[in-house]
Structure 1
Amino acid sequence: MDWDKLRIFHAVADAGSLTHAGDTLHLSQSAVSRQIRALEEMLNTTLFHRHARGLILTEQGELLFDATKSMNKRLEAATARIKDSEEEVFGELRVTTTTGFGTLWLAPRLSKLYEKYPDLKIDLMLEERVLDLPMREADVAIRMKEPSQADLIRKRLMSVRMRLYASQTYVNKNGLMTEISQITNHRLLCQSLNSTQVAAGATLVHHLLTYEVPSLFTVNNYFGVLQGVLNNLGIGVLPDYVTEDFPDLVRVLPDLESGEVPVFLAYPEELRQSKRIGAFRDFVQEEIFTHRRKIRETLPDKPQLPPD
Structure 2
Amino acid sequence: MIGRVKKVADMDWDKLRIFHAVADAGSLTHAGDRLNLSQSAVSRQIRALEESLNATLFHRHARGLILTEQGELLFDATKSMAKRLDAAAARIRDSEEEVFGELRVTTTFGFGTLWLAPRLAALYQKYPDLKVDLMLEERVLDLPMREADVAIRMKEPSQADLIRKRLMTVEMKLYATRAYLDSAGTPQDISDISAHRLICQNISAAQVGASAVLVQHLLAYNPSSLLTVNNYFGVLQGVLHNLGIGVLPDYVTQDFPDLIHVLPDIKSALVPVYLAYPEELRHSQRVAAFRDFVQEEIIAHRKQLRELGIL
* TM-score, with structure 1 as normaliser: 0.96
Cα distance in structure 2, aligned partners of 1:121 and 1:219: 31
Aligned ranges for residues 38-187 of structure 1 at < 5 Å?
38-187=48-197
Percent identity for Structure 1 against Structure 2: 78
Cα deviation for residue 87 of structure 1 reads 2.0
Q: SS state of the match for residue 226, structure 1?
A: helix
Deviation (angstroms), 1:174: 1.6
Cα distance, 1:116 vs. partner? 0.7
Q: Distance in 2 between matches of 1:87 and 1:212?
A: 58
- Quote how far apart the aligned CAs of 1:184 are: 0.4
**Aligned equivalents of 2:222 and 2:155: distance in 1?**
31
| Residue type of the alignment partner of 2:284 | S
The equivalent of 1:295 in structure 2 is 305
Q: Give the equivalent residue in structure 2 for 1:223.
A: 233
The residue number in structure 2 matching 1:302 is: none
In structure 1, how many angstroms separate the alpha carbons of the residues matched to 2:63 and 2:175? 53
Matches of 2:163 and 2:43, distance apart in 1: 42
Shift of 1:175: 1.6
Partner amino acid, structure 2, of 1:229:
V
Per-residue CA deviation, residues 106-128 of structure 1 (Å, 9 max, x unaligned), is 01111111111111111111111
Q: Deviations over 1:143-202 (max 9, x none)?
A: 111111121111111111101000111111222111100000000000112211000000
Unaligned runs of 5+ in 2: 1-10
Q: Who is 2:250 aligned against? A: 240
Matching of residue 271 in structure 1 with residue 281 in structure 2: yes
Q: Counterparts of 2:256 and 2:245 in 1: how far apart (Å)?
A: 15
Distance, in Å, in 1 between the alignment partners of 2:159 and 2:34 is: 33
Give the AA of the match of 1:126: L
Deviation at 1:48, TM superposition (A): 0.7
Letter in 1 for 2:17: R
Return the offset for 1:249: 0.6
Distance in 2, Cα, partners of 1:263 & 1:159? 6
Number of aligned pairs? 301
Alpha-carbon distance between aligned partners in 1 of 2:160 and 2:51, rounded to the nearest angstrom: 37
* Partner in structure 2 of residue 33 of structure 1: 43
For residues 214 and 147 of structure 2, the distance between their equivalents in structure 1, rounded to whole angstroms, comes to 32
Counterpart-to-counterpart distance in 1, 2:97 and 2:280: 19
| Letter of the structure 1 residue corresponding to residue 160 of structure 2 | A
Pick one of 180, 195, 214 that aligns with 1:204. 214
Q: CA–CA distance in 2 between the matches of 1:199 and 1:168?
A: 29
Q: Secondary structure at the match of 1:218?
A: strand
Hey, what's the Cα distance between the residues in 1 that align with 2:56 and 2:95?
43
Deviation at residue 85 of structure 1 after TM alignment: 4.7
Secondary structure of 1:244's counterpart equals helix
| Segments ≥4 residues shifted beyond 6 Å | none
Report the Cα distance in structure 1 between the residues aligned to 2:22 and 2:291, rounded to whole angstroms.
37
Distance 1:22 1:266 in 2: 38
Q: Deviations 1:62-119 (Å, cap 9, x if unpaired)? A: 1111111011001001111111253211111111111110110001111111111111
Provide, for residues 244-286 of structure 1, a one-character-per-residue CA deviation record: whole Å limited to 9, x for no partner.
Answer: 1000111111011001111111111111111000000000000
Structure 1 residue aligned with 2:31: 21
What is the CA–CA distance in structure 1 between the aligned matches of 2:68 and 2:162, rounded to whole Å?
A: 34
Q: What CA RMSD, in Å, does the superposition of the two structures yield over aligned residues?
A: 0.9
TM-score by length of 2: 0.95
Q: What does residue 4 of structure 2 align with?
A: none
